[in-house]
Structure 1
Amino acid sequence: MLPDVPEEHRDILRSQGCILREIEPIYPPENQIQFAMAYYVINYSKLRIWDFEEYSKMMYLDADIQVFENIDHLFDEADGYFYAVMDCFCEKTWSHSPQYSIGYCQQCPKKVTWPSEMGSPPPLYFNAGMFVFEPSKLTYESLLQTLQASTPTPFAEQDFLNMFFNHIYKPIPPTYNLVLAMLWRHPENVEFDKVKVVHYCAAGSKPWRYTGKEANMEREDIKMLVAKWWDVYNDESLDFKANDDTVPEDDTFSRSSSIMATLPEPSVSYVPAPSAA
């Protein structure tokens, strides 16, 4: 966490069994701040986690993510790779990109093909809200050195990490990081009842300030996911309990079936929105 996190917030995290590590912020070269969102400037601080060498493998999750099912098995994936879910280029936040301008999205590359006159298709691009990585002092120092020689781009550290780990990136299914735009852009790629991780990153989808007035936020599946976030938040049985002998070993947060599978099927017709442009 950054130094400006209030002590009362730290106390809440400690009460939930969190191990706190304070880090210093990392800024892009020359303090450039021309990003898709102004607050992205602080996101480079994420690079500090590669210095946590006391762990052999870690999983990063954005604060607007909710995990509905144990995903520890991702730690068993082969070493030496960077695991994350492919992003979608169809939302207006990508309007600066060539993918958006021609209507191309890696989620459905055959729908609008990459023009041959533009050269080879761009490499696969992941969403950096969730990923599995291996801390390393050598990688950490290389990240910082490379950053100082790089020109900041609209999606800040996400663009940077995609560039840096392009050669070892391995895609994992959208069920491990459901970016909500996938529900209306690429419903054919979403197995709703198998979703394990939901990323509330679409405009208006943050459960703690949800109004339902923004675009696509009136959808029944979105309302359901917002309600599920609050169900988990308010469920005191999920609170951390030190020395709790009532939870069997290897059964932390296990269920006979996925939490998502217990939800009623959304009463909504999935009509894909136009791709990108």
Structure 2
Amino acid sequence: MVQLSTPPSRTAVTIAMIQQCPSFAYVTLLTRPSYLAGLLVLHQSLRAVHSMYDLVVMIPPTLPQETRDVLRRCRITVREVEWLHPPAGKYTPHQRDAHYIDTWTKLRHVVLTTTCVLLWALTASGLFYQSIRTDGKIVLLDVDMLILRNMDELMDIDIPSDGIAATHVCACNPRRLDHYPIDWEPMNCAHSSVKSPHSPPPLIRKDSPRPYHQLNSGTVVLRPSYALAEGLQAILLSQDLSQWNFPDQDLLAAYFKDRWIPLPWYYNALRSLRNTHPVMWSDREIRCLHYIFPEKPWHNRDLPTDLLSQAGFAMMNRWWWERFDPLVKRLRKTDSKSYYTLVKTMQRSK
């Protein structure tokens, strides 16, 4: 059973904390320097589409100071969060999915006060606490994403206090990974029923294939609440985490079963969808491109051979570098310390 400590008291939130926290925000997580390049491009791409809302970056105490300094000099809003380690061996990802070890941290279990929310973030390495005010909504984003069109309309989605909005998981398993669920086949994938780029996602019925009930947590819209925090905690205490393939996604799918609203694919456009669902895909419709798989654009300008064989992957890789190159050029001219720190993190991440 996961060792969870009691959430901070609702009365512990100070006026100063409330005033410094945004009511609506995009929220992401940076746990290690090797993802700094991805974070900077995500931040820049949100600004490039003229989003009205800040990107708030959660960081753990272990993030090196030189990485923090880059965020500060780039004027990125940062909230440090503390963690509590769960028992060793409670969750161990498959060796091919070792990068999932940090995905627990994306779960901001939210504790509502009058106008401020204490966001909890759970990780296989620990349990985080952080405050961020929200009278409305937050949109959780993975750090390996690129914003191509303004999607502030997500803040206006009408979702109940006990629900969330997210995109369907793609259950096609194009890499044929044998440790993925046995029912992950194209015939069971919700995206297979989408007939065009503008078609709505399919409804989720009781008799729908199991993958229809699963979501991808790359983009999640929610209304933080104390009840939500307690409900998620109860699920964690009652579930066998060792049976979960994708920790954060499986938790959200379990808790919000029959209570989550499917979003159109383009708010979380998994780069593999271009090949697995070409009828649904349109480059022009993408709001948020998600660079799933362990191989990230910043690892290499040129894709490895196995990804080069995937139609469109090289082009999508170029899209990322087209945003990164001007950014790093500007840093080299105006902020040499940040430039050299960034270059160093990219060399280490290869």
What is the match of residue 237 of structure 2? 148
Q: Find the aligned partners of 2:299 and 2:208 in 1 and give their Cα distance.
A: 42
**Contact kept? 2:168, 2:262, Cα under 8 Å:** yes
The RMSD of aligned alpha carbons is 2.9
**Aligned partner of 2:320 among 205, 211, 229:** 229
* Structure 1 Cα separation of the partners of residues 178 and 84 of structure 2: 24
| Residue aligning to 2:209 | 121
1:195 aligns with 2:316: no
Q: Distance in 1 between matches of 2:60 and 2:309?
A: 35
* Candidates 56, 63, 70, aligned match of 1:12: 70
The answer for the alignment partner of 1:208 in structure 2 is 298
Equivalence for 2:204: none
**Which has the bigger relative contact order, CA under 8 A and spacing at least 6?**
1
Give the whole-Å Cα distance in 1 for the aligned partners of 2:60 and 2:181: 31
Q: TM-score, normalised by structure 2?
A: 0.59
Q: Which residue in the other structure is 2:39 paired with?
A: none
AA in 1 matched with 2:245:
P
Deviation at 1:158?
Answer: 1.0
1:32 aligns with 2:90: yes
Does residue 60 of the first structure (1) align with residue 140 of the second (2)?
yes
Equivalent-residue separation in structure 1 for 2:150 and 2:109 (angstroms): 22
- What TM-score comes out, normalization by structure 1 length? 0.73
SS at match of 1:48: strand
Map Cα deviations across residues 43-74 of structure 1 (whole Å, 9 max, x no partner): 22222352345112101111111111221111
Amino acid at match of 2:248: E
Shift in CA distance, 127/230, structure 1 to aligned 2, threshold 3 Å: same
Shift of 1:172: 1.1
Identical columns (%) = 25
Residue in 1 aligned with 2:276? 185
Q: 2: CA distance between counterparts of 1:28 and 1:166?
A: 25
Does 1:78 find its partner at 2:138? no
Q: How far apart in 2 are the matches of 1:4 and 1:144?
A: 24
Distance 1:77 1:43 in 2: 25
Deviation at 1:169, TM superposition (A): 0.8
Structure 1: which amino acid aligns with 2:156?
Answer: D
How far apart, in 2, do the equivalents of 1:195 and 1:172 lie? 13
Q: Judging changes above 3 Å, is the alpha-carbon distance between structure 1 residues 202 and 41 closer, same or farther for their aligned structure 2 residues?
A: closer
Q: 1:84 to 1:234 in 2, by over 3 A?
A: same
Structure 2: 5+ residue stretches without partners: 1-58, 111-117, 120-131, 195-206, 332-350
1: CA distance, partners of 2:306 / 2:81: 36
| Residues 101-116 of structure 1 mapped to structure 2, 5 A cutoff | 104-108=188-192
Aligned residue-pair number: 232
In 2 relative to 1, CA 29–125 (structure 1 residues): closer, same or farther, beyond 3 Å? farther
Distance 1:121 1:27 in 2: 35
CA contact (8 A) 2:275 2:311 kept: no
Query: Offset of 1:87 from its aligned partner?
Result: 1.4
Q: Give 1:83 shift.
A: 1.2
1:219-243 C-alpha deviation (Å, 9 max, x unpaired): 4622121111111123349x89xxx
In the TM superposition, what is the alpha-carbon distance from 1:30 to its structure 2 partner? 6.0
Displacement of 1:188 in angstroms is: 0.8
